[in-house]
Protein backbone atom coordinates (compact mmCIF):
# COMPACT_ATOMS: atom_id res chain seq x y z
CA UNK A 1 0.00 0.00 0.00
CA UNK A 2 1.14 3.54 -0.75
CA UNK A 3 1.20 6.49 1.64
CA UNK A 4 -2.37 7.39 2.59
CA UNK A 5 -4.10 10.36 1.06
CA UNK A 6 -4.54 13.00 3.76
CA UNK A 7 -6.28 15.60 1.57
CA UNK A 8 -9.83 15.65 2.92
CA UNK A 9 -12.72 16.30 0.54
CA UNK A 10 -15.11 18.68 2.29
CA UNK A 11 -18.89 18.63 1.89
CA UNK A 12 -20.44 21.29 4.09
CA UNK A 13 -23.75 20.92 5.82
CA UNK A 14 -26.16 23.41 4.31
CA UNK A 15 -29.18 23.04 6.60
CA UNK A 16 -27.48 23.35 10.00
CA UNK A 17 -29.17 24.86 13.04
CA UNK A 18 -29.08 28.64 13.39
CA UNK A 19 -26.41 30.43 15.43
CA UNK A 20 -29.10 31.30 17.99
CA UNK A 21 -30.15 27.66 18.37
CA UNK A 22 -26.52 26.61 18.68
CA UNK A 23 -25.90 29.25 21.34
CA UNK A 24 -28.86 27.82 23.27
CA UNK A 25 -27.43 24.27 23.08
CA UNK A 26 -23.91 25.48 23.96
CA UNK A 27 -25.14 27.21 27.11
CA UNK A 28 -25.93 23.86 28.71
CA UNK A 29 -24.57 21.00 26.59
CA UNK A 30 -24.53 18.12 29.09
CA UNK A 31 -22.30 15.26 27.95
CA UNK A 32 -22.46 13.29 24.71
CA UNK A 33 -25.67 14.63 23.20
CA UNK A 34 -24.99 18.00 21.59
CA UNK A 35 -23.34 16.80 18.39
CA UNK A 36 -21.66 19.08 15.87
CA UNK A 37 -22.63 19.45 12.21
CA UNK A 38 -19.93 17.34 10.56
CA UNK A 39 -17.96 14.12 10.76
CA UNK A 40 -14.66 12.94 9.31
CA UNK A 41 -14.63 9.58 7.53
CA UNK A 42 -11.67 7.66 6.12
CA UNK A 43 -12.00 4.24 4.50
CA UNK A 44 -9.60 1.29 4.62
CA UNK A 45 -9.60 -1.47 2.07
CA UNK A 46 -7.11 -4.31 2.22
CA UNK A 47 -4.63 -3.98 -0.62
CA UNK A 48 -5.41 -0.30 -1.07
CA UNK A 49 -4.83 1.01 2.44
CA UNK A 50 -6.45 4.14 3.86
CA UNK A 51 -8.19 6.25 1.24
CA UNK A 52 -11.01 8.68 0.46
CA UNK A 53 -10.67 11.02 3.48
CA UNK A 54 -13.82 13.11 3.74
CA UNK A 55 -15.54 15.67 5.90
CA UNK A 56 -19.30 15.17 5.56
CA UNK A 57 -22.45 16.50 7.16
CA UNK A 58 -22.99 14.29 10.24
CA UNK A 59 -25.33 11.51 9.16
CA UNK A 60 -26.32 7.89 9.87
CA UNK A 61 -23.98 5.19 8.58
CA UNK A 62 -24.94 2.66 5.98
CA UNK A 63 -23.67 -0.72 7.15
CA UNK A 64 -24.15 -4.21 5.86
CA UNK A 65 -25.93 -6.25 8.56
CA UNK A 66 -23.06 -8.75 8.37
CA UNK A 67 -20.43 -6.06 9.12
CA UNK A 68 -17.91 -7.61 11.56
CA UNK A 69 -18.30 -4.80 14.06
CA UNK A 70 -21.92 -5.82 14.63
CA UNK A 71 -21.07 -9.43 15.40
CA UNK A 72 -17.55 -9.69 16.76
CA UNK A 73 -17.14 -6.17 18.13
CA UNK A 74 -14.08 -5.18 16.16
CA UNK A 75 -14.26 -1.58 17.35
CA UNK A 76 -11.90 0.86 19.04
CA UNK A 77 -12.23 4.50 20.04
CA UNK A 78 -10.50 7.49 21.58
CA UNK A 79 -11.67 10.37 23.74
CA UNK A 80 -10.09 13.81 23.56
CA UNK A 81 -11.12 17.44 23.83
CA UNK A 82 -10.72 20.82 22.14
CA UNK A 83 -10.47 23.82 24.47
CA UNK A 84 -11.16 27.49 23.82
CA UNK A 85 -8.27 29.69 25.01
CA UNK A 86 -8.76 33.24 26.37
CA UNK A 87 -7.57 34.68 23.03
CA UNK A 88 -10.10 32.58 21.10
CA UNK A 89 -7.62 30.03 19.75
CA UNK A 90 -8.74 26.41 19.86
CA UNK A 91 -6.36 23.99 21.53
CA UNK A 92 -5.88 20.23 21.66
CA UNK A 93 -4.15 18.54 24.60
CA UNK A 94 -1.49 15.91 23.77
CA UNK A 95 -3.36 14.72 20.65
CA UNK A 96 -0.35 12.65 19.51
CA UNK A 97 -0.78 10.54 22.63
CA UNK A 98 -4.33 9.69 21.54
CA UNK A 99 -3.12 8.89 18.02
CA UNK A 100 -0.46 6.59 19.46
CA UNK A 101 -2.86 4.83 21.83
CA UNK A 102 -5.30 4.36 18.95
CA UNK A 103 -2.64 2.46 17.01
CA UNK A 104 -1.97 0.26 20.06
CA UNK A 105 -5.69 -0.47 20.43
CA UNK A 106 -5.91 -1.31 16.72
CA UNK A 107 -2.99 -3.69 17.02
CA UNK A 108 -4.62 -5.50 19.96
CA UNK A 109 -7.91 -5.87 18.11
CA UNK A 110 -6.26 -6.95 14.81
CA UNK A 111 -7.49 -3.83 13.02
CA UNK A 112 -5.83 -1.72 10.33
CA UNK A 113 -2.92 0.44 11.44
CA UNK A 114 -3.93 4.10 11.15
CA UNK A 115 -0.98 6.49 10.62
CA UNK A 116 -0.80 9.08 13.40
CA UNK A 117 -0.70 11.93 10.88
CA UNK A 118 -3.99 10.82 9.38
CA UNK A 119 -5.62 10.55 12.82
CA UNK A 120 -4.42 14.06 13.71
CA UNK A 121 -5.44 15.52 10.35
CA UNK A 122 -8.97 14.09 10.65
CA UNK A 123 -9.35 15.54 14.16
CA UNK A 124 -7.94 18.91 13.12
CA UNK A 125 -10.15 19.13 10.02
CA UNK A 126 -13.29 18.31 11.99
CA UNK A 127 -12.53 20.73 14.82
CA UNK A 128 -11.73 23.46 12.29
CA UNK A 129 -14.97 23.11 10.35
CA UNK A 130 -17.05 22.81 13.55
CA UNK A 131 -15.09 25.39 15.56
CA UNK A 132 -18.29 27.33 16.34
CA UNK A 133 -19.30 24.33 18.46
CA UNK A 134 -16.42 24.69 20.93
CA UNK A 135 -18.13 26.07 24.05
CA UNK A 136 -16.92 29.04 26.04
CA UNK A 137 -14.30 27.91 28.58
CA UNK A 138 -16.57 28.56 31.58
CA UNK A 139 -19.16 26.18 30.09
CA UNK A 140 -17.00 23.33 28.82
CA UNK A 141 -15.15 21.84 25.89
CA UNK A 142 -15.64 20.10 22.59
CA UNK A 143 -15.44 16.36 23.25
CA UNK A 144 -13.95 14.54 20.27
CA UNK A 145 -14.66 10.88 19.60
CA UNK A 146 -12.44 9.22 16.96
CA UNK A 147 -13.33 5.57 16.38
CA UNK A 148 -12.76 2.69 13.99
CA UNK A 149 -15.20 -0.05 12.99
CA UNK A 150 -14.84 -3.22 10.94
CA UNK A 151 -17.23 -2.86 8.01
CA UNK A 152 -16.51 -5.99 5.99
CA UNK A 153 -19.59 -8.15 5.46
CA UNK A 154 -18.27 -11.53 6.57
CA UNK A 155 -19.44 -13.85 9.34
CA UNK A 156 -16.28 -15.93 9.48
CA UNK A 157 -14.35 -15.05 12.63
CA UNK A 158 -11.26 -13.30 11.24
CA UNK A 159 -9.86 -9.78 11.15
CA UNK A 160 -11.90 -7.71 8.70
CA UNK A 161 -10.43 -6.49 5.42
CA UNK A 162 -12.43 -3.24 5.44
CA UNK A 163 -12.66 -0.55 8.08
CA UNK A 164 -13.93 2.96 8.56
CA UNK A 165 -12.20 5.52 10.73
CA UNK A 166 -14.69 8.17 11.81
CA UNK A 167 -14.45 11.25 14.00
CA UNK A 168 -17.51 12.87 15.57
CA UNK A 169 -17.64 15.59 18.22
CA UNK A 170 -20.04 17.06 20.74
CA UNK A 171 -20.13 20.08 22.97
CA UNK A 172 -19.59 18.91 26.55
CA UNK A 173 -20.07 20.25 30.03
CA UNK A 174 -19.35 18.23 33.18
CA UNK A 175 -19.41 14.45 32.81
CA UNK A 176 -20.88 13.91 36.25
CA UNK A 177 -23.99 15.68 37.42
CA UNK A 178 -23.21 15.50 41.15
CA UNK A 179 -24.53 18.54 43.04
CA UNK A 180 -21.60 18.73 45.44
CA UNK A 181 -19.01 18.06 42.72
CA UNK A 182 -17.95 14.92 44.62
CA UNK A 183 -18.91 11.47 43.42
CA UNK A 184 -19.46 8.19 45.21
CA UNK A 185 -18.00 4.97 43.90
CA UNK A 186 -19.23 1.39 44.07
CA UNK A 187 -16.52 -1.22 44.64
CA UNK A 188 -17.37 -4.04 42.25
CA UNK A 189 -16.76 -7.49 43.74
CA UNK A 190 -18.43 -9.71 41.13
CA UNK A 191 -17.49 -8.77 37.60
CA UNK A 192 -14.02 -7.69 36.57
CA UNK A 193 -13.06 -5.25 33.86
CA UNK A 194 -9.89 -6.86 32.60
CA UNK A 195 -7.57 -9.76 33.20
CA UNK A 196 -3.94 -10.33 32.31
CA UNK A 197 -3.62 -10.90 28.59
CA UNK A 198 -7.11 -9.51 28.02
CA UNK A 199 -8.08 -6.23 26.40
CA UNK A 200 -7.83 -3.91 29.42
CA UNK A 201 -5.20 -1.63 27.89
CA UNK A 202 -7.06 -1.34 24.59
CA UNK A 203 -9.77 1.26 24.26
CA UNK A 204 -12.26 -1.10 22.66
CA UNK A 205 -16.03 -0.85 22.92
CA UNK A 206 -16.34 -4.34 24.39
CA UNK A 207 -14.59 -3.26 27.60
CA UNK A 208 -17.33 -0.71 28.17
CA UNK A 209 -20.20 -3.05 27.30
CA UNK A 210 -18.76 -5.47 29.87
CA UNK A 211 -18.65 -2.76 32.54
CA UNK A 212 -22.32 -1.80 32.30
CA UNK A 213 -23.83 -4.39 34.63
CA UNK A 214 -21.43 -3.30 37.37
CA UNK A 215 -22.26 0.33 36.60
CA UNK A 216 -25.98 -0.52 37.03
CA UNK A 217 -25.24 -2.29 40.30
CA UNK A 218 -23.38 0.81 41.49
CA UNK A 219 -26.24 3.05 40.44
CA UNK A 220 -28.68 0.88 42.37
CA UNK A 221 -26.50 1.60 45.42
CA UNK A 222 -26.61 5.32 44.73
CA UNK A 223 -23.11 5.53 43.20
CA UNK A 224 -21.92 7.49 40.17
CA UNK A 225 -19.10 5.16 39.12
CA UNK A 226 -17.65 1.72 39.62
CA UNK A 227 -14.22 0.78 40.84
CA UNK A 228 -12.88 -2.46 39.41
CA UNK A 229 -10.49 -4.74 41.28
CA UNK A 230 -7.92 -7.11 39.78
CA UNK A 231 -9.30 -10.32 38.26
CA UNK A 232 -7.01 -12.72 40.12
CA UNK A 233 -7.23 -11.78 43.79
CA UNK A 234 -10.17 -9.36 43.67
CA UNK A 235 -8.19 -7.18 45.97
CA UNK A 236 -6.05 -4.64 44.13
CA UNK A 237 -7.50 -1.39 42.83
CA UNK A 238 -7.34 -1.13 39.06
CA UNK A 239 -9.48 1.66 37.62
CA UNK A 240 -13.03 2.81 37.20
CA UNK A 241 -15.44 2.20 34.32
CA UNK A 242 -14.14 5.18 32.34
CA UNK A 243 -11.35 6.80 34.33
CA UNK A 244 -8.21 6.15 36.33
CA UNK A 245 -8.01 6.55 40.11
CA UNK A 246 -5.49 8.33 42.38
CA UNK A 247 -5.02 8.54 46.15
CA UNK A 248 -3.40 11.27 48.28
CA UNK A 249 -2.02 10.36 51.73
CA UNK A 250 -1.42 12.45 54.82
CA UNK A 251 2.31 12.72 54.04
CA UNK A 252 1.35 14.31 50.70
CA UNK A 253 2.34 11.37 48.50
CA UNK A 254 0.27 10.56 45.44
CA UNK A 255 -0.44 6.90 44.64
CA UNK A 256 -2.00 5.29 41.58
CA UNK A 257 -2.11 1.64 40.46
CA UNK A 258 0.79 0.66 38.15
CA UNK A 259 0.36 -0.12 34.46
CA UNK A 260 2.58 -3.20 34.60
CA UNK A 261 -0.27 -5.68 34.97
CA UNK A 262 -1.47 -4.79 31.45
CA UNK A 263 -5.04 -4.52 32.67
CA UNK A 264 -5.42 -0.74 33.04
CA UNK A 265 -5.96 1.87 30.37
CA UNK A 266 -2.87 4.07 29.97
CA UNK A 267 -4.71 7.29 30.71
CA UNK A 268 -3.26 10.45 29.22
CA UNK A 269 -4.74 12.48 32.08
CA UNK A 270 -3.15 10.00 34.51
CA UNK A 271 0.25 10.45 32.90
CA UNK A 272 -0.12 14.25 32.78
CA UNK A 273 -1.11 14.50 36.45
CA UNK A 274 1.81 12.29 37.54
CA UNK A 275 4.13 14.62 35.63
CA UNK A 276 2.54 17.76 37.11
CA UNK A 277 2.74 16.24 40.60
CA UNK A 278 6.44 15.45 40.15
CA UNK A 279 7.00 18.98 38.78
CA UNK A 280 5.78 20.40 42.07
CA UNK A 281 7.90 18.04 44.14
CA UNK A 282 5.24 15.59 45.29
CA UNK A 283 6.29 12.00 45.82
CA UNK A 284 4.53 9.88 43.20
CA UNK A 285 4.08 6.15 43.68
CA UNK A 286 2.80 3.81 40.97
CA UNK A 287 2.16 0.88 43.26
CA UNK A 288 -0.51 -1.72 43.93
CA UNK A 289 -3.01 -0.67 46.57
CA UNK A 290 -5.52 -3.04 48.14
CA UNK A 291 -9.16 -2.24 48.80
CA UNK A 292 -8.86 -3.41 52.48
CA UNK A 293 -6.01 -0.96 52.85
CA UNK A 294 -8.13 1.82 51.38
CA UNK A 295 -10.90 1.19 53.92
CA UNK A 296 -8.33 0.99 56.76
CA UNK A 297 -6.39 4.09 55.67
CA UNK A 298 -9.55 6.12 55.16
CA UNK A 299 -10.92 5.13 58.56
CA UNK A 300 -7.60 5.92 60.29
CA UNK A 301 -7.39 9.30 58.52
CA UNK A 302 -4.19 8.40 56.65
CA UNK A 303 -5.91 8.54 53.28
CA UNK A 304 -6.84 12.16 52.73
CA UNK A 305 -8.08 12.46 49.14
CA UNK A 306 -9.12 10.19 46.29
CA UNK A 307 -10.00 11.33 42.80
CA UNK A 308 -10.97 10.00 39.39
CA UNK A 309 -9.11 11.28 36.34
CA UNK A 310 -9.72 11.05 32.62
CA UNK A 311 -10.57 13.16 29.61
CA UNK A 312 -14.30 13.15 30.32
CA UNK A 313 -13.99 13.21 34.13
CA UNK A 314 -11.05 15.68 34.15
CA UNK A 315 -10.20 15.44 37.89
CA UNK A 316 -13.27 14.50 39.93
CA UNK A 317 -13.01 14.18 43.72
CA UNK A 318 -14.46 11.03 45.29
CA UNK A 319 -16.36 11.52 48.55
CA UNK A 320 -17.14 7.93 49.41
CA UNK A 321 -16.72 4.28 48.49
CA UNK A 322 -19.50 1.76 48.98
CA UNK A 323 -19.39 -2.01 48.83
CA UNK A 324 -20.94 -5.06 50.43
CA UNK A 325 -18.66 -4.33 53.40
CA UNK A 326 -20.25 -0.94 53.93
CA UNK A 327 -19.47 2.67 53.23
CA UNK A 328 -16.23 4.56 53.77
CA UNK A 329 -15.98 8.33 53.58
CA UNK A 330 -12.93 10.12 52.17
CA UNK A 331 -12.02 13.30 54.05
CA UNK A 332 -15.24 15.03 55.07
CA UNK A 333 -16.99 13.48 52.08
CA UNK A 334 -18.26 16.88 50.98
CA UNK A 335 -15.35 19.03 49.85
CA UNK A 336 -12.55 18.38 47.36
CA UNK A 337 -9.13 18.06 49.00
CA UNK A 338 -6.43 20.69 48.41
CA UNK A 339 -4.17 18.50 46.23
CA UNK A 340 -7.10 17.30 44.11
CA UNK A 341 -8.23 20.90 43.61
CA UNK A 342 -4.84 22.31 42.80
CA UNK A 343 -3.87 19.52 40.40
CA UNK A 344 -7.19 20.02 38.62
CA UNK A 345 -6.57 23.76 38.43
CA UNK A 346 -3.04 23.32 37.05
CA UNK A 347 -4.21 20.80 34.45
CA UNK A 348 -7.17 22.93 33.32
CA UNK A 349 -5.05 26.10 33.16
CA UNK A 350 -2.72 24.27 30.76
CA UNK A 351 -5.49 22.71 28.69
CA UNK A 352 -7.34 26.00 28.28
CA UNK A 353 -4.13 27.84 27.39
CA UNK A 354 -4.13 30.04 30.50
CA UNK A 355 -0.56 29.21 31.57
CA UNK A 356 2.83 28.48 30.05
CA UNK A 357 3.20 24.98 28.66
CA UNK A 358 6.65 23.67 29.65
CA UNK A 359 5.97 20.14 28.38
CA UNK A 360 4.75 21.23 24.94
CA UNK A 361 1.46 19.42 25.46
CA UNK A 362 -0.86 21.96 23.88
CA UNK A 363 -1.40 22.09 20.09
CA UNK A 364 -3.21 24.94 18.34
CA UNK A 365 -5.82 23.78 15.81
N1 LIG B 1 -9.70 4.40 32.03
C2 LIG B 1 -10.73 4.15 31.21
C3 LIG B 1 -11.37 2.81 31.28
C4 LIG B 1 -11.16 5.13 30.31
O5 LIG B 1 -12.19 4.90 29.50
C6 LIG B 1 -10.52 6.39 30.30
C7 LIG B 1 -10.98 7.43 29.40
O8 LIG B 1 -10.56 7.58 28.32
C9 LIG B 1 -9.45 6.59 31.16
C10 LIG B 1 -9.07 5.57 32.01
C11 LIG B 1 -8.70 7.87 31.16
O12 LIG B 1 -7.92 8.02 30.01
P13 LIG B 1 -7.57 9.46 29.44
O14 LIG B 1 -7.02 10.23 30.57
O15 LIG B 1 -6.60 9.21 28.37
O16 LIG B 1 -8.86 10.03 28.95
C1 LIG C 1 -13.04 9.58 28.04
O2 LIG C 1 -12.79 10.06 29.14
O3 LIG C 1 -12.73 10.12 27.00
C4 LIG C 1 -13.70 8.28 27.91
O5 LIG C 1 -13.63 7.69 26.90
C6 LIG C 1 -14.46 7.75 29.05
C7 LIG C 1 -15.93 7.67 28.88
C8 LIG C 1 -16.48 7.41 30.24
C9 LIG C 1 -16.58 8.86 28.29
- The per-residue pLDDT for range 76-92, each reduced to its tens digit, is 999 999 999 999 999 99
Pick the atom of ligand 1 nearest to 270's CA. 14
Ligand nearest to the CA of 145: 2
pLDDT tens-place string over residues 3-25: 777 899 999 999 888 999 999 99
The pLDDT, as a whole number, for residue 4 is 73
What is the average pLDDT value for the chain, to the nearest integer? 96
Q: What percent of the chain is modeled with pLDDT above 90?
A: 94
- How many other C-beta atoms are found inside a 10 Å radius of the C-beta of residue 321? 22
315 lines ligand 1 (CB under 6 A): no
Give the separation between CA 362 and CA 365, rounded to whole angstroms.
10
Burial 199-225 (b: 16+ CB within 10 A, else e): bbbbbbbbbeebbeebbebbeebebbb
244 lines ligand 1 (CB under 6 A): yes
Distance in Å, CA 21 to ligand 2 centroid? 27
Give the burial class of 318: count Cβ atoms within 10 A of its Cβ; 0-12 exposed, 13-18 middle, 19 or more buried. Answer: buried
Ligand 2 probe mutation, 82, 242, 244, 308, most atoms within 8 A of CB: 242
Whether 120 has a pLDDT exceeding 70, the answer reads yes
The reported pTM is: 0.96
The pLDDT, as a whole number, for residue 1 is 52
- CA-nearest residue for atom 10, ligand 1, is 243
- CA-nearest residue for atom 7, ligand 2, is 242
Give the separation between CA 343 and CA 189, rounded to whole angstroms.
30
- How many other C-beta atoms are found inside a 10 Å radius of the C-beta of residue 146? 25
The pLDDT, as a whole number, for residue 6 is 81
pLDDT tens-place string over residues 179-221: 778 999 999 999 999 999 999 999 999 999 999 999 999 999 9
Ligand nearest to the CA of 313: 2
Distance in Å, CA 339 to ligand 1 centroid? 20
Q: What is the mean pLDDT of residues 136-148?
A: 96
The pLDDT, as a whole number, for residue 2 is 62
Is residue 354 very low, low, confident or very high in pLDDT (cuts 50, 70, 90)?
very high
Q: What percent of the chain is modeled with pLDDT above 70?
A: 99
The pLDDT, as a whole number, for residue 331 is 94
Give the burial class of 86: count Cβ atoms within 10 A of its Cβ; 0-12 exposed, 13-18 middle, 19 or more buried. Answer: exposed
The pLDDT, as a whole number, for residue 205 is 97
The pLDDT, as a whole number, for residue 16 is 84
Whether 365 has a pLDDT exceeding 80, the answer reads yes
Give the separation between CA 330 and CA 297, rounded to whole angstroms.
10
Q: Among 3-12, 17-26, 96-105, 317-326, which stretch is predicted with the lowest mean pLDDT?
A: 3-12
The pLDDT, as a whole number, for residue 176 is 85
Whether 266 has a pLDDT exceeding 70, the answer reads yes
Q: What is the mean pLDDT of residues 23-35?
A: 93
Query: What residues line ligand 2, using a CB cutoff of 6 Å?
Result: 79, 242, 310-312
The pLDDT, as a whole number, for residue 5 is 77
Whether 139 has a pLDDT exceeding 60, the answer reads yes
105 lines ligand 1 (CB under 6 A): no
pLDDT tens-place string over residues 246-259: 999 999 999 999 99
Give the separation between CA 363 and CA 365, rounded to whole angstroms.
6
Amino acid sequence: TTAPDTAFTITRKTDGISAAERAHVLANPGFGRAFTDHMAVVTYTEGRGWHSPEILPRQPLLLDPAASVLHYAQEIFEGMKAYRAPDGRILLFRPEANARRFRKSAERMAMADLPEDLFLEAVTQLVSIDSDWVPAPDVGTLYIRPFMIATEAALGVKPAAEFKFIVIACAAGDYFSADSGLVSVWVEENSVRASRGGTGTAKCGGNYAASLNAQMEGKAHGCHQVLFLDALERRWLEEMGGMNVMMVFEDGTLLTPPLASGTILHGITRDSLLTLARDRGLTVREEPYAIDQLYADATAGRLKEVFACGTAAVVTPIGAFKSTRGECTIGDGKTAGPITSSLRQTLCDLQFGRTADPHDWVKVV
